[in-house]
Amino acid sequence: LGQYEKSRSKRWSQSKPFRPSRSGDKWIFVYRSWARMEEHHGTFSTANAAYARATKTYRNHSVLYLGWAKLHARHGRNDRARFLFKVACDKCGGRSAEPYREFAEFEMSRGDHARAKSILYLGAQQLSEATDVSPKGDELARLYYTWALCEWYLENF
């Protein structure tokens, strides 16, 4: 082999191992984009239907439930939004702090800081007990920042 082939062979052997993607998961972004497009250019009912269809297909993805909950929150359907936020938190388990933080921010925007504090506590507990996946550092920092704001509103400092 020539120098070029040897260097290519060496580089190929040192590269990261090939990991096949989970082929079905790539379509979650298509559903998510479709639902967002319906939110901006369609009606509430078409966006709601898009999220309903997406969550039937991808039952274990918290990002879809989180987007659906935000849709209901923006349209003043607080009880349905709370239910969907809870489902998003259940689906993510201890893998992400975002559903807990978003749920707590929703409750804080409604003036229920005590409920927000309990949600943040539950989120921190779930994230600290999760052993299989560690959350990103900034996610946990954002959760604690939201918790600090909640404590400030409750005047617990």
Q: Over the stretch 61-97, which tens digit does the pLDDT of each residue have?
A: 899 999 999 999 999 999 999 999 999 999 987 788 8
In degrees to the nearest 10, what's the CA dihedral of 132, 127, 77, 153?
A: -170
Q: Over the stretch 28-68, which tens digit does the pLDDT of each residue have?
A: 888 899 999 999 999 999 999 999 999 998 888 899 999 99
The mean pLDDT value for 135-151 works out to 80
Question: So where are the chain's domains?
Answer: 24-80, 93-156
Contact of 127 with 94, CB cutoff 8 Å: yes
